[in-house]
Amino acid sequence: MTTVLRAQALGKKYGRRWALRECTIDIPAGHVVGLVGPNGAGKSTLLKLASGQLEPTAGGITVLGGRPGSTPAQLAKVGFVAQETPVYAGLTVAEHLRLGARLNPRWDDGMARERIARLGLVPAHRAGKLSGGQRAQLALTLGLAKRPDLLILDEPAAALDPLARHEFLQGLMEADVEHKLSVVLSSHLVSDLERVCDYLIVLVDSRVQIAGKTDHLLATHHRLTGPRRDPDLLPAGRHVVSARHTDRQSTYVVRTGAPIHDPAWRVSRLSLEDLVLAYMDGRTAERRRVALEVQG
Amino acid sequence: MIWLTWRQFRGSAAMTAAVLVVLTAVLALTGPDLASRYAAGIAGCTPDNTCDDFFDRFFDEHQIPFLALTLVVLILPALVGLFWGAPLITRELESATHLLVWNQSITRGRWLAVKLGVTGLAATVAAGVCGLAVTWWSDPLDKSAVPEMAQMSPLVFSARGIAPMGYAAFAFVLGVTMGVLVRRTLPAMALTLVAFTAIQLAMPLLVRPHLMPPVTSTFELGRTNVNGIVPQGQEGGAMQLFLSTSAVPGHAGAWVLSSDLVDPSGRTVAGGDGASGPSSTIARSIPVSTTSGPCAPSRGQGTDACTAEINRLGYRQQATYQPIERFWPFQWIETGIYALLTLGLTWLCFWRVRRGLS
């Protein structure tokens, strides 16, 4: 299998507002995919569409070759840990494992018990009494023990303190290595993703800005700093992601496959965070320009 | 899935079961005694034809438990809708656990089917047990009830037989539907209460009278349908007759939909001028001599003779009613209507949940 998730002009509308639109992506198998974007960009919507929690308004989406959430077999192949990692407050840890065992044909009970024991969770404790980190670990255990081919996590670490977040992501990475699954996780913290992801999707304003392997993205994006000039004077074949100007200086973030030799520019590498920020920034600038044109 | 549903439901199920066990135990212990006292009373009154007095006395003595039990059966479906139906899905939505359970290897349709099936069945059984136990216990009282509390009358009918099962199933699914529509527990509960109350009022007012064409008939005036007769105004004026609007002779337990006094030519006698009688009556004035004849107070012959005189002149009660013989057909029809409504709402719930409640 080469593709875990394929979306074609996918869109989801809530009332009159598009939460996600014109989303066309193709995520290859065997990656830990980071989905990054500001709050309200449509990350959760995309992940809920992928796990079958929502039905698309427009376009289509296939996950592991099937329509998300359509059949029990399809559901068994995809694990989903929702935002804020919900668990049944009135049920104990052991009852959650029982729930997983009863509702999933591929359930790995030995693995679930071993994980719970290793994490120091007491099976007789009620899930409502667990800390945020423990709850997230319980939800992750449920997601992993159903033995999915693809695990989707929606801001799994958002509510955790830095230490718990580190442990959670660490646990996720270990499980990923052990079970060779594909993972898609969203976050608005690039630092989280930087540590675990080898594939990145940037989603801003309900649209996919860019998607690709992180090393490839880092190799093809550059920051150019030089005397002030218009973007039109940049060499052809370079896509400007964002631009900033002071009185004398211009700073561009560009995407290009070719090396840049123009001595007028000082070329520097970007960190993943810089890259994501450039896309968010570029999008904001564009919106501002559109607004000005409309007014003018 | 059945295990999970039961695990989530067992607390309130156990509580309800406990209450029902206590209720049915009390009814089972007191029911035979009530029935034997009724039988003894009937045996005593039949020879000297005073059974009407016995009925009044017997019903009066047990009126409070009768009304209380009727009320319990009427309220139970609403409680089921409010506390089992409305929170069924909203509780999951509010704690976001639907996202957890919807991503186990089970489709949302199956998940909803089990939740609705298990809890709905429990609701129907609870209402059925409660309704049938109360029906059994109240049997002697239903036979002796005052016309306002006749077995076919709106309130009592709704608390007897199998109809409470239909109400409970409907109220439960109504609660679930409100839950999936508004997605929050408290508004869903409020809407459920309002909608269920409205439907429970509309049913006896607008629909039930027409389930079968009511019987229209004229009846001689007598003790059953005349609740009083008094001279009107000055001596020599007309007589004021208080005609019952809830009883017709020879049809105890019937639901009287309308009752009017007609004169010898068959025309309806217009309403009396101001004087009002006891409750559940209409006052009608009759031009009959009060200076001489049976209706003259001075003759002192009592109301029976005067009623007989008015009868002889050709005045009659004209009433439309649903007789007690239609009790079970009506129960089946009404339960069927609620079952259809329940199915319709169930379909709506599935439709909403399949689409992911968005």
pLDDT tens for each residue of B120-130:
999 999 999 99
Closest approach of B84 to chain A, Cα-based (Å): 17
Provide the pLDDT for residue B139: 94
Question: Do residues B84 and B141 share a domain?
Answer: yes
Task: Please count the other Cβ atoms lying within 10 Å of the Cβ belonging to residue B28.
Answer: 12
Among chain B residues, CA nearest to A138: B100
Interface of A with B in 121-180 (CB under 8 A): 139, 142-143, 146
Provide the pLDDT for residue B231: 79
Q: Is residue B156 pLDDT above 70, yes or no? A: yes
Q: Is residue A283 pLDDT above 80, yes or no? A: no
Q: Is residue A8 pLDDT above 60, yes or no? A: yes
Nearest to B356 among A55, A106, A146 (CB): A55
> For a pLDDT cut of 90, what percent of chain B falls above it?
65
Provide the pLDDT for residue B202: 95
Which residues in chain A have their CB less than 8 angstroms from residue B108's CB? 69
* Phi, psi angles (nearest 5°) of residue A106: -95, 15
Nearest to A72 among B3, B107, B356 (CB): B107
> For a pLDDT cut of 70, what percent of chain B falls above it?
95
Question: Do residues B308 and B236 share a domain?
Answer: yes
Is B100 touching A (CB cutoff 8 A)? Answer: yes
Question: Do residues B186 and B273 share a domain?
Answer: no
Q: Given pLDDT bands bounded at 50, 70 and 90, which one contains residue B65?
A: very high
Q: Given pLDDT bands bounded at 50, 70 and 90, which one contains residue A291?
A: low
Residue closest to A79 by CA, chosen among A183, A31, A150, A135 = A150
Is residue B320 in some structural domain? no
Q: Given pLDDT bands bounded at 50, 70 and 90, which one contains residue B324?
A: very high
Question: Do residues B36 and B180 share a domain?
Answer: yes
Is B109 touching A (CB cutoff 8 A)? Answer: no
Question: Do residues B245 and B100 share a domain?
Answer: no
Question: Do residues B343 and B303 share a domain?
Answer: no
Is residue B148 in some structural domain? yes
The single residue listed with the structure tokens 């139906």 is B85
A128-137, A262-271, B266-275: segment of lowest average pLDDT: B266-275
Higher pLDDT, B304 or B298: B304
Contact A283, A209 (CB under 8 A): yes
Q: Given pLDDT bands bounded at 50, 70 and 90, which one contains residue A165?
A: confident
Provide the pLDDT for residue B164: 96
Q: Given an 8 Å threshold on Cβ–Cβ distance, is B99 in contact with A80?
A: yes
Question: Do residues B147 and B226 share a domain?
Answer: no
Is residue B101 in some structural domain? yes
Question: Do residues B197 and B342 share a domain?
Answer: yes
Is B207 touching A (CB cutoff 8 A)? Answer: no
pLDDT in tens, A194-208: 888 889 999 888 888
What CA–CA distance (Å, rounded) separates B165 from A130?
Answer: 41
Q: Given pLDDT bands bounded at 50, 70 and 90, which one contains residue B299?
A: low
Q: What is the mean pLDDT of chain B?
A: 90
Nearest to A84 among B96, B102, B108 (CB): B96
Q: Given an 8 Å threshold on Cβ–Cβ distance, is B8 in contact with A90?
A: yes
Q: Is residue A265 pLDDT above 90, yes or no? A: no
Q: Given an 8 Å threshold on Cβ–Cβ distance, is A104 in contact with B99?
A: no
Which residues in chain A have their CB less than 8 angstroms from residue B355's CB? 55
Q: Given an 8 Å threshold on Cβ–Cβ distance, is B104 in contact with A51?
A: no
Burial A149-174 (b: 16+ CB within 10 A, else e): bbbbbbbbbbebeeebbebbbebbee
Provide the pLDDT for residue A260: 76
What CA–CA distance (Å, rounded) separates A18 from A207?
Answer: 10
How far does Cα B46 stand from its chain's mean position?
A: 29
Is residue B347 in some structural domain? yes
Q: Given an 8 Å threshold on Cβ–Cβ distance, is A69 in contact with B102?
A: yes
Q: Is residue B275 pLDDT above 60, yes or no? A: no
Higher pLDDT, B340 or A233: B340
Q: Determine the angle formed by the axes of helices B63-79 and B185-202, rounding to 10 degrees.
A: 130
Question: Do residues B179 and B153 share a domain?
Answer: yes
Among chain B residues, CA nearest to A54: B356
Which residues in chain A have their CB less than 8 angstroms from residue B7's CB? 91, 95
Provide the pLDDT for residue A293: 63
A179-193, B23-37, B64-78, B292-306: segment of lowest average pLDDT: B292-306
pLDDT in tens, A102-132: 999 999 999 999 999 988 899 999 999 998 8
Higher pLDDT, A287 or A149: A149
Nearest to B3 among A51, A84, A102 (CB): A102
Provide the pLDDT for residue B128: 96
The mean pLDDT value for B232-261 works out to 84
Expressed in angstroms, the distance from the first to the final Cα of chain A is 52
The single residue listed with the structure tokens 């609007």 is B245
What CA–CA distance (Å, rounded) separates A233 from A246?
Answer: 17
Picking from A88, A91, A152, A184 by the largest number of B CB atoms within 10 A of its own CB, the best residue to mutate is A88
3-state secondary structure of B204: helix
The mean pLDDT value for B171-199 works out to 96
Q: What stretch of H or E contains B28?
A: helix B2-45
Contact A38, A182 (CB under 8 A): no
What CA–CA distance (Å, rounded) separates B261 from B267?
Answer: 8
Provide the pLDDT for residue B276: 65
Q: Is residue A286 pLDDT above 80, yes or no? A: no
Q: Is residue A296 pLDDT above 60, yes or no? A: no
Per the structure block, which two tokens stand in for A245?
Answer: 């100007």
Is residue B319 in some structural domain? no
CB pairs < 8 Å spanning A and B: 83
Is A262 touching B (CB cutoff 8 A)? Answer: no
Q: Given an 8 Å threshold on Cβ–Cβ distance, is A88 in contact with B100?
A: yes
Tell me the one-letter amino acid at B9: F
Residue closest to A273 by CA, chosen among A188, A185, A172 = A188
Q: Is residue B317 pLDDT above 70, yes or no? A: yes
Higher pLDDT, B272 or B279: B279
Provide the pLDDT for residue B70: 95
Is B103 touching A (CB cutoff 8 A)? Answer: yes
Q: Given an 8 Å threshold on Cβ–Cβ distance, is B356 in contact with A73?
A: no
- Angstrom distances, CA of residue A296 to CA of A291, A293, B330: 9, 5, 73
pLDDT in tens, A42-77: 888 999 999 888 889 999 999 998 999 888 999 999
Is A296 touching B (CB cutoff 8 A)? Answer: no
Is residue B293 in some structural domain? yes
Is B1 touching A (CB cutoff 8 A)? Answer: yes
Question: Do residues B194 and B305 share a domain?
Answer: no
Is residue B21 in some structural domain? yes
A248-252, B128-132, B318-322: segment of lowest average pLDDT: A248-252
> What's the CA angle centered on A206, arms A202 and A207, to 5 degrees?
55
Instruction: Quote the radius of gyration of chain A (alpha carbons, Å).
Output: 21
Among chain B residues, CA nearest to A96: B4
| DSSP strand pairing (B316-322 vs B215-219) | antiparallel
Q: Is residue B113 pLDDT above 80, yes or no? A: yes
Q: Is residue B224 pLDDT above 80, yes or no? A: yes
* Phi, psi angles (nearest 5°) of residue A239: -95, 125
Closest approach of A98 to chain B, Cα-based (Å): 9
Is A14 touching B (CB cutoff 8 A)? Answer: yes
Residue closest to B338 by CA, chosen among B133, B182, B127 = B127
Higher pLDDT, B292 or B332: B332
Question: Do residues B186 and B77 share a domain?
Answer: yes
Among chain A residues, CA nearest to B5: A99
Q: Given an 8 Å threshold on Cβ–Cβ distance, is B105 in contact with A104?
A: yes
Provide the pLDDT for residue A152: 93
Per the structure block, which two tokens stand in for A268?
Answer: 């520097």
Provide the pLDDT for residue B131: 95
Provide the pLDDT for residue B300: 62
> For a pLDDT cut of 70, what percent of chain A falls above it?
93
Dihedral sign computed on CA atoms, order A271, A164, A101, A71: negative
Nearest to B355 among A55, A87, A89 (CB): A55
H-helix segments, B145-184: 154-158, 163-182
Q: Give me the number of domains chain B comprises.
A: 2
Q: Given an 8 Å threshold on Cβ–Cβ distance, is B101 in contact with A103?
A: yes
The mean pLDDT value for A1-11 works out to 86
Q: Which residues pair with A81 in a beta bridge?
A: A153
Q: Which residues pair with B261 in a beta bridge?
A: B317
Q: Given pLDDT bands bounded at 50, 70 and 90, which one contains residue B232?
A: confident
> What's the CA angle centered on B117, arms B116 and B123, to 5 degrees?
85
Burial B206-232 (b: 16+ CB within 10 A, else e): eebbebeebbeeebbbeebbbbebebb
Is residue B34 in some structural domain? yes
Provide the pLDDT for residue B355: 79
Burial (CB count within 10 angstroms: exposed 0-12, middle 13-18, buried 19+), residue A142: buried
What CA–CA distance (Å, rounded) separates B220 from B225?
Answer: 9
Is A188 touching B (CB cutoff 8 A)? Answer: no
Those residues whose C-beta lies under 8 Å from the C-beta of residue B154, and which sit 6 or more positions away, are: B204, B205, B208, B255
Q: What stretch of H or E contains A192?
A: helix A190-196
> What's the CA angle centered on A127, arms A76 and A45, to 5 degrees?
50
Question: Do residues B136 and B238 share a domain?
Answer: no
Burial (CB count within 10 angstroms: exposed 0-12, middle 13-18, buried 19+), residue B346: buried
Q: What is the mean pLDDT of chain A?
A: 86
Q: Given an 8 Å threshold on Cβ–Cβ distance, is A86 in contact with B3?
A: no
Among chain B residues, CA nearest to A151: B103
| Range with top average pLDDT, A95-104, A185-194, B306-315 | A95-104
Where in the sequence is the domain holding B9, given as residue range(s)? 2-213+325-355
